[in-house]
Amino acid sequence: MKFRLARISAATALVVLTIGTGAPHAIASAASEDLPTDEVLVGVEVEGQELDEDLPIPGEPEDTVVPDVDLPDKEPDNLPHGIECKPGWFFKITENKKNTMSVKYNTFAENTSSRSLSFKFTSKKSGTTEVGGSVTLSSEVKVAVLGSIKAEINANAKKSWTSEIGVEIYGSIPAKSIVYGDYGILKEKVYGYKYYRGSACQKANKQNMTVWAPYREGWRVS
């Protein structure tokens, strides 16, 4: 198929899991009961479309504003004489924005029968999401962004995250309905500014931007 079928379900669920290095592949299940043995609808891969890098995550709270305690251009005059700052790039978070999902694989299952049926989706493609921003970031700024996000917002944030293949999710499809599944990597997204701090503790090259870091992966079912 060359395009994605229109979504018809109002209910959306997100099942996420964290997979660490050396950890066994976890199974994310949307239903506690065992799958029936008579008939299970298996997801059909959606082809011919560009995957969404900013799919909304259900249940996310409204944007949270972090108090913007701006840094002075220079350190206060009462600092000990001759003190110096370690030069480098820094990132200041001023707003915690709604997180999004970078989709790496999507699928759907259609129930044409007059009764409810179970479905099984399995992630079949992998992809990688890295620390990034609304503008091009140097490697030094990426380090500053990740450090700020980990310290202030989400300790689980990573420099890079590659999604797993073979992660399954089960559920139920009402009669005459379609269920869609998106598998991908969740991104912690914030707004703020980068700046360079010189040896005299002054700020320079300040630039506002939206940035993000991957922190988890999972299924979004709707």
How confident is the model over 178-217, as pLDDT tens digits? Answer: 999 999 999 999 999 999 999 988 899 999 999 999 999 9
pTM, entire model: 0.77
pLDDT band at 61 (very low <50, low <70, confident <90, very high): low
Task: For residue range 160-171, list pLDDT tens digits in order.
Answer: 999 999 999 999
Q: How far apart are the first and last CA of the chain?
A: 19
Q: Is the pLDDT of residue 69 over 60?
A: no
Of 57, 110, 38, residue with least CA distance to 218: 57
Compute the Cα dihedral for 8, 102, 206, 150 and give only its sign: positive
Q: Which two tokens stand for residue 155?
A: 């300790």
Q: Are 120 and 172 in contact (CB under 8 A)?
A: no
CA distance 6 to 222: 11
Give the residue extent of every domain in the chain: 13-221
pLDDT value at 8 more than 60? no
Strands 177-197 and 203-221: antiparallel
How high is the pLDDT of residue 97? Answer: 94
Confirm if 186 and 101 have CB atoms less than 8 A apart: yes
